[in-house]
């Protein structure tokens, strides 16, 4: 591993990505400049490792906290991973089916569902991503690191939290979905695992984000940077508010903290 001067964590949607779910030329250049300045850029996202690798192809990014802290990689090496026990998946599947909600299962490289619903279709359209494949046995044949629950009825969120509070953590990350990980796991926990595994606790750390599921990430770093397009609560938890993700906010924030020229 190289000797780095600092670590910078980036959320993807609404932060590093544009509305087309791609990294702009300006952000490509900013990430390259970070690496040239011996500063390690990392993704911290609810997306899968496969999606992150596809999105960051051609960039200087080779490190990420993925699936909300469930599968974490530095310089192409896995430093921690947390599969969800099959029994817990089966219990949640039965409960969500009774509520009329669909559930997707995520491995390192694939995702699948037993059946689709309207909320699922809306979420993947929003993310410019393909729908999960249909498979009733996928969760039994693979290690599952994250689950996605598709529901637009936020009044039912507490039903899930109450039923599974000792086993699973639920993050509402869109109007259509909740990301689900093991209890105690989050972007925050994933970042802490990365820092501990690499013995980099003394390095300055920064994070860029825009959503409620980025608040844990903000807690795990020294300097939290919210995008201008973030909600007011997220902004209130940040140390600095940069410009919008559509107005070169990444470069503006990096330059403000003198991480790039």
* Candidates 11, 13, 173, 214; catalytic one: 11
Question: Helix 86-98 and helix 157-164: axis angle, to 10°?
Answer: 150
Question: How far is the C-alpha of 61 from the C-alpha of 243, rounded, in Å?
Answer: 22
Please, are residues 81 and 72 in contact by the beta-carbon 8 Å criterion? Answer: yes
239 to 149, 177, 217, 223, 236: CA distances (angstroms): 32, 28, 13, 6, 8
Question: How far is the C-alpha of 20 from the C-alpha of 17, rounded, in Å?
Answer: 7
Task: Return the half-sphere exposure (C-beta side, CA atoms, 13 A cut-off) of residue 45.
Answer: 23
Let me know if 83 is exposed, middle or buried by CB neighbors in 10 A (0-12, 13-18, 19+). middle
Question: How far is the C-alpha of 117 from the C-alpha of 199, rounded, in Å?
Answer: 44
Q: How many CB atoms lie within 10 A of CB 248?
A: 16
Specify whether 11 is catalytic.
Answer: yes
Which residues are 170's β-sheet partners? Answer: 180
Question: How far is the C-alpha of 55 from the C-alpha of 183, rounded, in Å?
Answer: 28
Q: Tell me which residues are annotated as active site.
A: 11
């Amino acid at each position: 591993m190289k000797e780095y001067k600092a670590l910078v964590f980036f959320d993807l949607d609404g932060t590093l990505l544009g509305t087309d779910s791609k990294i702009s030329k300006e952000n490509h250049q900013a990430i390259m400049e970070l690496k040239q300045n011996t500063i390690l850029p990392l993704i911290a996202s609810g997306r899968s490792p496969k999606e992150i690798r596809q999105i960051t192809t051609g960039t200087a990014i080779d490190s990420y906290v993925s699936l909300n802290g469930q599968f974490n990689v530095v310089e192409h090496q896995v430093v921690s991973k947390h599969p969800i026990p099959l029994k817990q998946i089966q219990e949640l599947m039965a409960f969500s089916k009774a509520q009329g909600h669909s559930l997707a299962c995520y491995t390192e490289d694939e995702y699948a569902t037993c059946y689709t619903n309207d909320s699922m279709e809306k979420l993947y359209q929003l993310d410019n991503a393909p729908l999960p494949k249909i498979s009733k046995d996928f969760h039994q044949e693979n290690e599952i690191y994250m689950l996605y629950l598709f529901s637009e009825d936020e009044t039912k969120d507490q039903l899930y939290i109450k039923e599974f509070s000792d086993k699973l953590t639920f993050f509402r990350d869109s109007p259509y979905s909740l990301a689900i990980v093991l209890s105690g796991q989050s972007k925050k926990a994933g970042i802490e695992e990365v820092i501990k595994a690499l013995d980099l606790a003394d390095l300055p750390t920064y994070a860029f984000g825009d959503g409620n599921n980025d608040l844990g990430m903000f807690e795990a770093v020294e300097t939290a940077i919210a995008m201008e397009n973030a909600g007011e609560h997220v902004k209130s938890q940040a140390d600095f508010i940069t410009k919008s993700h559509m107005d070169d906010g990444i470069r503006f924030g990096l330059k403000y903290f003198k991480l790039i020229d």
